[in-house]
Structure 1
Amino acid sequence: MLLGIIPFALVLGSQATQKGFSFIEVHLFTGLNFAGGSEFAILELWTNPPIITFLVNSRHLLMGASLVPYLRHLPNKQVFPALFFMCDESWAVALEDAQKRQAQTGINHAFNLSFYTGLCFALYLMWVGFTALGGAIGPILGDASRFGFDMAFPAVFLVLLRGMWKSLHAARPGLVSLVTAALAYLYLPQGWHVPIGAVAGIASAY
């Protein structure tokens, strides 16, 4: 998974440089907004970055909510920093780990903060480091997507989805969310497909 991050981190850094970002700005861009999806969306539609960031990152509201049952035993001073470093990959792996631990031990609060911290630390360093590298060598690479690096992004998510697959019935909210988000992406302004897909998934779960 860590290796899979490298290609699209390089692509993002390269694209940011082509948009006029300085080397320091690339660092701040990825370090302070640790969320690959919104970063790519912002670069594509720079006219209103805060709104695009909120729309695309609205999925984090649901991701964080799904972790609440496993975080209740932790103080807020540990939970809030942990959630700042939450990304799609760390959320998926940590949630699966907590569910496995709960099934094995029967303990409700099975979230392993040390495991999660190590995972986030590695992901954060890889992401910020290689986007910075992409920014540094962007003028040399040119359009990095011509190397097929952009395919790493969906490939990583397909691997995560495969690991979380339990059954068709359990996957129903995700499938509903996927179809709804795809339709919204085709017919609505950019960014709206994320919250619309999320709401549709929640509605189908109930």
Structure 2
Amino acid sequence: MSDMTMPVADNRAEFFRGLRVSVPVLLGFIPFGLLLGSQAGMKGFSPLEIALMTGFNFAGGSEFLVIQLWTWPPAIPLLVALTMLVNSRHVLMGATLAPTMRHLPRRKVLPALALMCDECWALGLDDARKRGGVLSFPFYLGLSVGLYLSWPTSAAIGAAVGPSLGDVTRYGFHMAFPAVFLVMIFGMWTGFRAARPWFVSLVIGALTYLAVPGPWYVPAGALSGLLAAYLWARSE
């Protein structure tokens, strides 16, 4: 049964199922959001400013990069270019999720894509595959809403209290996001063949980090992963 004809009670149950599935990831979001907010607060961002940035962008990797590179006056063209580059992975993510949403009207597809982040994409795609390649929009909405609200909220709290705490990485908060990604990779693992672009991105990013000063490892890892994915897809 499609989401368009699903009874209201089923829609509600699917929404809360998505909300429940999001809880383990949400618990990883909160410490990482606190860390981002703390670093932003020490750069002069107010809780409202970091909440707006994380709410409109909703992509942690590029936000951490922006905070690390933030100066006054800010180099806006550089920050915009790097944000677009890091977030360019969302183009591929949206392309892989789109076939699971063919049964949905555009008024539902566009909000779903707007709320997409790495974790929403991975969990939503995994659930759609279990349902025969069909995305449950109420499930995805419940999944996304919990994660979306927790991110700017935790970042704002971090900006408010972080500067008074000093370097919060000593509490181990920075390990939350890598742990979440490792769990996601384990859950979606189908073999090394599908993970080759990630491996290329990891190796190139690590080598660039060791060899080149500054944040160039971020675009190097992103571009090499995208190029590897394109070349392998074209050859196959």
> Does the 8 Å contact 1:42/1:53 carry over to 2?
yes
User: Residue 10 in 1 paired to residue 37 in 2?
Assistant: no
Cα distance in structure 2, aligned partners of 1:172 and 1:139: 40
> Does the 8 Å contact 1:92/1:164 carry over to 2?
yes
RMSD: 1.8
- Kindly tell me: are residues 16 and 37 of structure 1, through their superposed partners in 2, closer, same or farther at Cα, counting changes over 3 Å? same
1:89-132 CA-to-partner distances (Å, cap 9, x unmatched) read: 11010011111111xxxxx5x11111110011000111111111
TM-score norm. by structure 2 comes to 0.79
In structure 2, the partner of 1:72 is: 102
> Does the 8 Å contact 1:58/1:195 carry over to 2?
no
Cα distance in structure 2, aligned partners of 1:185 and 1:79: 38
- Kindly tell me: are residues 42 and 17 of structure 1, through their superposed partners in 2, closer, same or farther at Cα, counting changes over 3 Å? same
Greater Rg over alpha carbons, structure? 2
In structure 1, the partner of 2:140 is: 116
Unaligned runs of 5+ in 1: 103-107
- Kindly tell me: are residues 185 and 99 of structure 1, through their superposed partners in 2, closer, same or farther at Cα, counting changes over 3 Å? farther
Unaligned runs of 5+ in 2: 1-24
1:108-160 CA-to-partner distances (Å, cap 9, x unmatched) read: 5x111111100110001111111111111012221111211101111110010
> Does the 8 Å contact 1:177/1:201 carry over to 2?
no
Identity percentage of aligned residues: 54
In structure 1, the partner of 2:177 is: 153
In structure 2, the partner of 1:198 is: 226
* Residue correspondence of structure 1 range 1-206 to structure 2 within 5 A: 1-46=25-70, 47=75, 48-102=78-132, 108=133, 110-186=134-210, 189-192=216-219, 193-205=221-233, 206=236
The alpha carbon displacement at 1:52 in A equals 1.4
- Kindly tell me: are residues 53 and 12 of structure 1, through their superposed partners in 2, closer, same or farther at Cα, counting changes over 3 Å? same
The alpha carbon displacement at 1:190 in A equals 4.8
The alpha carbon displacement at 1:173 in A equals 3.9
TM-score norm. by structure 1 comes to 0.89
> Does the 8 Å contact 1:14/1:137 carry over to 2?
yes
> Does the 8 Å contact 2:206/2:217 carry over to 1?
no
Pairs aligned (count): 200
- Kindly tell me: are residues 63 and 183 of structure 1, through their superposed partners in 2, closer, same or farther at Cα, counting changes over 3 Å? farther
